[in-house]
Chains A and B, each alone.
Chain A
Amino acid sequence: MDFLNAIVALANYVLIPGIAYGSQLAIGALGVTLVYGILRFSNFAHGDTMAFGTMITILVTWWMQSVGISLGTLPTALLALPFGIMGCIALVLITDRTVYKFYREQKAKPVILVIVSMGVMFVMNGIVRFIIGPDDQSFSDGPRFIISARDFKRLTGLDEGLGIRTTQVITVVTAIVVVALLFWFLNKTRSGKSMRAYSDNEDLALLSGINPERVVMITWIIVAALATIAGTLYGLDKSFKPFTYFQLLLPIFASAVVGGIGSPLGAIAGGFVIAFSEVTITYAWKKVLGYLMPESLEPNGLVQLMSTDYKFAVSFVILLIVLLFKPTGLFKGQSTT
């Protein structure tokens, strides 16, 4: 019985939150990795792109809530999501036309594009704060739990409860659908194949008659969609605050690099590696160990390896280890030297 309790506690506090957070990071990292693969720079504005798409989703959600449109038990935000994606695509394409295109034609060094993306980051951050303000916003509705900890205890008779939030399930299901669609697109469609060809070898791709501007446009559209989905899922699961989205940049970059930047599969793996490391290292293991260990050996303290405020340190250390010892990442992305 103790063993079962330990497993349930582990699932409740580590596995399920880790899977949900990992899915969010993975979708975010896919966006970073696609920009890197096709446009060949690290996009510092990605966190704020996520924030912008999410903001549009939130505004439409509020409007839908006010006129009484809803999805029944699912959060209204899912219905608003396509509008958020549209808004984000518009913003990103305008940015590309007015800002990035110039440097692409100049064949500017990647680092210049990174600095330009810093400028874009300021502007997007400013727009988001200007429209929705710098504060926390909550936009989740519908029932919070699919199964609450109390119901679980009553059903199973265990001491430990297993609560599964609606948003966590939605996150995982959406992530699976999105990733399946993306890989189908990249592997089966003509546009997807031309994207991969362009990412592998730009010159050869151009020689075979691939239109680079079209590839870039499709990339931005996909990136905007991914960013909005990742941002909305994160916002539903936790809450929306512009500054938090900016800070997500670090774990997202870490996921992309750990998996091997430029590799979509790597981005997904990286997202889960980072998420699970963060959750396990900042989780207080007292409860789980308490069930597993004989009474005499039960730990006194919380057995928390690091306080939750150091979660950035976790993604950073993993990032550094990968950069130092396996610079191409787990999935052989583009070289990092």
Chain B
Amino acid sequence: MTDTVKNSLLFALVFTLIIISGFFQGWNNAMFIVNMGIISAIMALGVNLQWGYAGLFNVGVMGFVALGGLAAVLIGMPATPGAFAAGGTGIVIALLLGAGTIIAAVLAYKRMTAGRNRNLAITAILIFGFFVFRGFLDPAVGLIEDVNPAATGYLGGLNPGTQDTYRDNGWIMLIAWPVGGLFAAGAAWLIGKAALGLRSDYLAIATLGIAEIIIAVLKNEDWLTRGVKNVVGVPRPVPYELDLQNSAVFVERAASLGFDPVEGSTIFVKLLYAVLFAAVLGIIFWLSQRALNSPWGRMLRAIRDNEVAAEAMGKDVTARHLQVFILGSAICGIAGAMMTTLDGQLTPGTYQPLRFTFLIWVMVIVGGSGSNLGSILGGFLIWFLWVQVEPIGLFIMDIITSGMADDNWLRIHLIDSAAQMRLMTMGVIMILVLRFSPRGLIPEK
């Protein structure tokens, strides 16, 4: 059996699984799995670029995904009337001063000779800068958060529409996706500058920390993201279900295909999303494949397999690592912006490392690290399992406990806990793949 046949069979298997779930749980549900599957596949491609090509151990995926979501809000939402006038200047000044402080500290570190004087100077710059920064930021934040706190209380975004009309500018979300990539790339540049070059597990700990900090910022800086009050009603690049249901042409079309307007419209919207997402996935996959098979890709793999030898051949290892770290994180950022668009809301409280970092890692490992096709397969397969393990677990628990009385404590406990089967299943899958098929379902060639 050739590789192509085997890979096609694997993909066919995953899509058959999704189609079967469509028959049992409805097509709306199946389309949800497909859409989130595509987004997961894109995230997996980003992680694979870092881990599979270059051996960089990034466990801060969640942070980059969340930054993408932030971009979706900052681009897609309309500016809050009066908010920028109230505190915008203060925020801008504060951010500039903050950046200036850090630059001054770095300059002092580079220009002055090492010793106590330098340490004192840097400490003084940082402490003074911090208080000046807070001095400008705090009042501005207070002013912005007082602007209609129940509905807005944040700066808003760049959508040219007003509070009532911004939803008509759904196309703007297509700009937000690459911007999400840029945000993530910027953060990755900062982290990469500081933490690349450390041992691999230290980079892991550093990225783990950065992700938590990004989430903490999104949760607490209400002027930027409304924090845990969430931003809802992010515009979308596809029509709204209600508009479709009110359109006579669409209702007629749906009826001729045997759908009632409500079900038809939800599925139609999800199909449009799937087309858009698949286009993004296609572009990123094509670019990744080209990169993998180019001299650049070969150099990366050479560095991954033997850093010392590659360095001896005159390759700039740190620069390549930084490059690939930024690219991979940018891909995760794009996926994050797409996910926020699909959800229609940014909810900082729902970002959890197990779901947004480690699950993506399971996808890459199961799919086959170093193989782009494998990452896509892993993305769909693991996402499908993540969604379906819960109902399957419930079903199994029902069977196991069917002999017990309805009010048996063990039965109640087992059925209540079935939802927790997910994590265990993912862990077991990951450990089994690492042990018995460490190169994954579609191994790197």
Contacts and interface: CB of A to CB of B under 8 A. Distances in A.
A320 B201 contact: no
Interface stretch (B15-23, B93-101, B429-437): B429-437
A131 B416 CA distance: 10
Contacts of A337: 197-199
A327 B421 CA distance: 40
B194 interface: yes
Contact of B198 (A110, A125, A323): A323
B417 A122 contact: no
B430 A122 contact: yes
B420 interface: yes
Interface stretch (B33-41, B207-215, B274-282): B207-215
Given A309-B216, A309-B219, A336 B198 contact: yes
B26 to A, nearest CB: 28
A310 B200 contact: no
Contacts of A309: 216, 219-220
A326 B368 CA distance: 37
Given A110-B200, A111-B57, A130-B417, A316 B213 contact: yes
A119 B353 CA distance: 14
B424 A122 contact: yes
Contacts of B416: 133
Given A122-B426, A126-B427, A133 B417 contact: yes
A336 B202 contact: yes
Contacts of B55: 111
A161 B431 CA distance: 52
Interface string A264-305: 000000000000000000000000000000000000010001
Interface string B183-211: 00000000000110111111011101110
B424 A316 contact: no
Interface stretch (A12-20, A216-224, A245-253): A245-253
Interface residues on A, range: 35 or more
Nearest to B200: A111
B206 A119 contact: no
**DSSP class of A's interface residues: helix, strand, loop or mixed?**
helix
Interface in A311-337: 312-313, 315-316, 319-320, 323-324, 327, 336-337
A323 B423 contact: no
B417 A249 contact: no
B402 to A, nearest CB: 19
Given A130-B420, A320-B206, A323-B195, A313 B213 contact: yes
A23 interface: no
Contacts of B130: 305
A246 B425 CA distance: 18
A169 interface: no
Interface string A110-134: 1110111011111111110111011
Contacts of A250: 205, 208-209, 212
B358 interface: yes
Nearest to A98: B431
Nearest to B426: A122
Nearest to B430: A119
A257 interface: yes
B53 interface: no
A253 B426 CA distance: 24
B209 to A, nearest CB: 4
Interface string A86-128: 0000000000000100100000001110111011111111110
6 contacts: A118-B430, A126-B426, A130-B417, A243-B352, A250-B212, A309-B220
Given A118-B358, A122-B423, A126-B421, 13 more contacts: A99-B431, A110-B200, A112-B434, A115-B361, A123-B424, A127-B424, A129-B417, A130-B424, A243-B352, A250-B212, A312-B213, A312-B216, A324-B194
Interface of B: 55, 57, 59, 130, 138, 194-195, 197-202, 204-206, 208-210, 212-213, 216, 219-220, 352-354, 358, 361-362, 365, 416-417, 420-428, 430-431, 434-435
